[in-house]
Amino acid sequence: MNALAKVMRWPVGEARARRLALWTAAEIAEATGGTASGDFEVSGVEMDSRDVRSGDLFVALKGEAMDGHRFVDGAFARGAAAALVDRPVDGPHVLVADTNKALEALAAAARKRTVAKIVGVTGSVGKTGVKEAIFAALERSRPGQGELGGSIGAHRSVRSYNNHVGVPLSLARMPVRSSFGVFEMGMNHAGEIAGLTAQVRPHVAVITTIAPAHIENLGSEEAIADAKAEIFGGLEPGGTAVIPADSPHFERLRDAALAIGAKVVSFGRADHADVRLLEALPLAEGGALVTARMDGASLCYHVAEPGEHWISNSLCAMATVRAAGGDLGAAGLALAEMGGLKGRGARRRIAAVGGHALLIDESYNANPASMRATLSQLGQTPATRRIAVLGAMKELGDFGPGFHAQLVEPLLAAQADFAVLVGPEMEVLARELGKQSVNTLGNPLGYAHCADAGEAISALEEFGLIGGDAVLVKGSNSVGLSRLVDHFVAREG
């Protein structure tokens, strides 16, 4: 029998026999308790009419200031196959009483029907990057091979869809034949993770780290740790908690996981870590060659992403892949191939006088821990000059002035030559730098304090970039430093 004949006789399993559509009209109606206008199938689910692609189900969500029903016609014009609505519309649709609750019901149906191994990820720092690393590793680890194996690999939440709308949307998008699902969960207040993890119901619950993000609302790092530990409450029976061994809150997290009967797997440099770093050798092209101890054996792999924090991220990803039953060898290959995410470490070559400069785009988010980590990364980056564009860190409340002032130390340790400080919260750091600060090479550190991203662009233009410069752009998303990134990337030559 030749190879083609063997393929044609491949056994058809239950998963493979299912149709390829994401949802049918009947399935949506059954899940939501709604009424379908007719028969149809959809290949995706979208809540933003601007992002609708051909075949999508457009969910017309209603908020305090916006009603998605205003954009139903636009969604159909962009190729939507149907809409989920609370009033009749022209075009295929499912009519429900409440579209927000209907989306949650569709998410619950998606979670109920899947046989995928589910991973939930939260943490103060690095959850999106770790989520992407886990996804890439599990995508490589999928047990089947597309059509022949009945599996289509891994699914994950895109962007930072990690809140009360993003999580159910991400679940509703999960194909029935997924082998793995990876979902990010974020929070601003206590109790929010509990609601999200009840929807996700992970087999593996991951906490990346605990840091003073959202401390304005929670008051202390201990309270933040407790809020993040809510993720364990949604674990499926026999589930695994993956936690940072190096955290000062390790015992608090471990005890919370054990209290609900979870198996605990820790990662880090500590001697008690289950996935323990043995050595990390920096590589000339960036990244590191990592050797870790796991299950009594050594594991060696290459991490493409630069920065000390990515060594820890990789240990977390490896611990999670092991807990989820993925392939560690395939995971190592995935980590070696990862590229930086827009706003979260992407590296771009931009035009500069006499050549090109390197722009490190960390413009999406910032808190004290991630600021220190990325400034350390800047200090390790070979460059003619190092420039830091730092936006304000939000949601720090009364702790804000102290945390902003403390950035002077990592900024000087990074051997920065110039700093652009953006936002009124950065005034305290500007005052610290004004005290005749010098970097670790003994050179004065010049700086400019700007009100917004527009002024920051002008300040950086006035300073002038030359070939060989390295520019770190880091700040909370609301500061708008992505505008500065887009401005200089557009000049790429």
| Integer angstrom CA distances of residue 90 from 36, 77, 114, 223, 369 | 13, 12, 32, 49, 51
- CB atoms under 10 Å from CB of 293, counted, come to 14
Q: What is the pLDDT along the chain (493 residues), one digit of tens a residue?
A: 444 344 334 344 444 444 568 999 999 999 999 999 999 999 999 999 999 999 999 999 998 888 999 999 999 999 999 999 999 999 999 999 999 999 999 999 999 999 999 999 999 888 989 999 999 999 988 744 444 345 578 999 987 788 999 999 999 999 999 999 999 999 888 999 999 999 999 999 999 999 887 677 778 999 999 999 999 999 999 999 999 999 999 999 999 999 999 999 999 999 999 999 999 998 876 789 999 999 999 999 999 988 888 999 999 999 999 999 999 999 999 999 887 777 777 888 999 999 999 999 999 888 888 899 889 989 988 899 999 999 999 888 888 999 999 999 999 999 999 999 999 999 999 999 988 666 656 667 899 999 999 999 999 999 999 999 999 999 998 999 999 999 999 975 5
- Could you tell me which of 24, 7, 18 has the C-alpha nearest to residue 177? 18
- CB atoms under 10 Å from CB of 402, counted, come to 11
- Tell me which residue has tokens 């191939």: 337
Q: What three-state secondary structure class fits 231? A: helix
Element (H, E) at 381: none
- Tell me which residue has tokens 């103060």: 124
8 Å CB contact between 301 and 334 = no
8 Å CB contact between 360 and 472 = yes
Complete DSSP assignment for 104-116:
HHHHHHHHHH---
Which residues 6+ apart lie within 8 Å of 293 measured at CB?
A: 275, 276, 278, 299
Q: What three-state secondary structure class fits 136? A: helix
Q: What three-state secondary structure class fits 333? A: helix
8 Å CB contact between 180 and 116 = yes
pTM (predicted TM-score): 0.78
How does DSSP classify residue 151?
Answer: B
- Could you tell me which of 370, 315, 364, 318 has the C-alpha nearest to residue 341? 364
pLDDT single digits (tens) 47-105: 999 999 999 999 999 988 889 999 999 999 999 999 999 999 999 999 999 999 999 99
Dist CA 370 CA 373 (whole Å): 5
